A and B are shown apart, each in its own frame.
Chain A
Amino acid sequence: MSLVEDIRKAAERYPRSKSAILPALRMAQEQYGWLPPEALAEVGEALGLTPAYCMAVASFYDMLHLEPVGTHTIEVCTNVCCGLVNAQAVLESFERELGVAPGETTADGSITLRAVECLGGCSTPTIVAVDGRYRQSVKPEDACAIVEELRGP
């Protein structure tokens, strides 16, 4: 099925199709890697909304990307609970390992590093979401292995 058909199917679960815009944008982002104008146009076509409206909604949410991101993402929680237990050192360890600052993508386009707000895993700091899945109790010395794992052999 095409993206437009997938979105229309997902929208059937809702009393009003506009409610499906977040799942639709998520599906589009999974397909394109981010939300380029053509992705927003497809979401709009599927739900009967303008691309501009889709962009307005997408720009509100932190997980929806209006610029290209890497094939993989590493997101380090730097809110206070993780911060009290050394999150800054974990973030800096990833910065050194990847050679990029938070918010940037490696030159080969493979990995984006981001700092994020509280991920809700405060009892096992530092929480790092790797491709959207939580790693718990990450220490600065773990950064190397995580990056190697993403880069592959």
Chain B
Amino acid sequence: MAPEILVLAGAEEAPLRDIAAYRAAGGYAQLEKARAQEPQAIIAELIESNLRGRGGAFFPTGRKASFIPTPDKVAKPVYITVNADESEPGTFKDREIMLRVPHRLIEGCLIAAHAIQSKFVFIYIRGEYSTEYDVLEAALDQANAAGLLGGVTIVIHRGAGAYICGEETALLSSLEGERGQPRSKPPFPAIEGLYAAPTLINNVETITTIPKVLEVGPAEYAQIGAPPDSTGTRLFCLSGNVARPGVYELPHGITARHLIEDVGGGVPGGRSLKAVMMGGSSFPVMTPDDLDTKLDANSLGQKGYFIGSGVVCAVDDRTCMVQFALRVGQFYMHESCGKCTPCRIGTRWLVQILRAVENGTAPESDLDLALDVCDRIIGKCLCVLGDSDAMIVASCVTKFRDEFRAHLEHRGCPFGHDSQLDRLFAPSDQHHDTPMAKEVPV
């Protein structure tokens, strides 16, 4: 049996930041082993393990690496970009990884670099993560001093505050020194990524899992969790109205109920659960009747949910779901890069509708109008930022339609000040100098 804790192994009690301590716990042994193997063999092991991307898209990691052409096939260098721009609301696992096991992330980067024969790794870390950056830089210095880089250059690149840069092509634009706006795909980054060269882009958790996949062995790893599709463990981000929020590494396939009630201690204050922000703010909200759904891609998918970046945010019965949808909508409006019209206009339009519903001034037809706006965003933009807004807002309107309608009947919010999200201020309202603060004529 493989141990239950893989990614955060050795850091259960205290952060494992010192290179000597990490090596004493078996760290960098997999790098040494990997470098003694052919690069193709590492990719084959990743494919066998069926490790999939932890950033949200759940794409098979080994297959993605196999798309990168070998150096004899391209005249350009190939790059690795690690997505550490963790900004999805409710997600805080990559931060824990960087703070607690920074060397495992670096070991994963170096193994991946060997697998695709790359000499250049960029770790794109969100600009707000200051302490995390310091810890990661210190670990990189230690690894460099220990002579572990083997000719690979790792650059830790700091973002400057833009959720959209977590989208892989926007990340590349930002890293190239442009505004962080997405590009059309194809060409996919594996063919034309950074500086139009083949680029492997992986999430922090995915890369950090790689040394452990090799350590337990791909065949055994493929048995952990909910095989065959959702293998291994997952860093679930539990937050919101629960007694014990935190990052919990657990195998795929546990139920949402187990995570919230047993692991998280349930909803505090004698309150009951009203909804779960499942996977992240970019996906449909879960209703309590689906709480026994297993947290793996297939079980969630059958009920229209997504595992996303492992977010499980509990929302208790005080909460007004119109306010919830409005605040999420304001986030996407603020973070839309403005490149595609359906997203730029649609995210603002949804905020206007939701604000009118919250105030009780919207006509009933606005509920269907909101759903119609969502339909006109989904699938019609270069990236999924607008889709994300549309998916969660549409799920709130559909699943809590009675509550939305009650606002119109009461000519105002029936929850009043009892809801924790009542009058919650959104950063978009700070931009007094931009049209964002003003109504867009639609």
Contacts and interface: CB of A to CB of B under 8 A. Distances in A.
Interface in A100-153: 102-103, 114-125, 129, 132-134
B128 A84 contact: no
A3 interface: no
Interface in B50-85: 77
B313 A122 contact: yes
Contacts of A25: 160
Contact of A61 (B180, B331, B427): B180
Nearest to A58: B160
Given A26-B158, A63-B161, A88 B430 contact: no
A118 B90 contact: yes
A92 to B, nearest CB: 8
A18 interface: yes
A120 B331 contact: no
B176 A123 contact: no
A81 B239 contact: yes
Contact of A123 (B88, B120, B180, B237): B237
A20 B155 CA distance: 11
A61 B127 contact: yes
Given A84-B316, A103-B430, A123 B92 contact: yes
Contact of A122 (B157, B174, B178, B239): B239
A80 B334 contact: no
A80 B177 contact: no
B237 A122 contact: yes
Pick from B120, B163, B239, B327 the residue with the most CB of A within 10 Å: B239
A63 B89 contact: no
B253 to A, nearest CB: 22
Pick from B128, B175, B238 the residue with the most CB of A within 10 Å: B128
Nearest to A64: B160
Given A22-B177, A83-B424, A122-B90, A114 B430 contact: yes
A29 to B, nearest CB: 9
B86 interface: yes
Contacts of A61: 127, 159-162, 180
A103 B437 CA distance: 13
A123 B247 contact: yes
A85 B420 contact: yes
B239 A23 contact: no
Interface string B5-42: 00000000000000000000000000000000000000
Contact of A63 (B128, B131, B238): B128
Contacts of B246: 123
B71 to A, nearest CB: 16
B430 A102 contact: yes
Contacts of B180: 60-61
Contact of B327 (A20, A21, A79, A133): A79
Given A78-B425, A115-B426, A18 B176 contact: yes
Contacts of B95: 120-121
B188 interface: no
A47 B88 CA distance: 32
A19 B316 CA distance: 44
Contacts of B422: 88
B267 to A, nearest CB: 11
A86 interface: yes
B243 to A, nearest CB: 12
Interface in B239-281: 239-241, 245-247, 277, 281
B87 interface: yes
A84 B241 contact: yes
A74 B175 CA distance: 28
A117 B177 contact: no
Contacts of B131: 133-134
24 contacts: A15-B77, A18-B176, A19-B157, A57-B178, A60-B337, A61-B180, A80-B240, A81-B313, A84-B314, A84-B315, A87-B424, A88-B420, A88-B422, A91-B425, A102-B430, A103-B431, A117-B89, A117-B427, A118-B88, A120-B92, A120-B129, A123-B238, A123-B239, A132-B128
Interface of B: 77, 86-92, 94-95, 120, 126-131, 153, 155, 157-163, 174-180, 195, 237-241, 245-247, 277, 281, 313-316, 319, 324, 327-328, 331, 334-335, 337, 420-427, 429-432
Given A79-B281, A114-B430, 20 more contacts: A13-B153, A15-B120, A20-B177, A22-B157, A22-B177, A61-B161, A62-B160, A78-B427, A79-B89, A80-B281, A80-B313, A81-B277, A81-B313, A115-B425, A116-B128, A120-B91, A120-B92, A122-B237, A122-B245, A123-B237
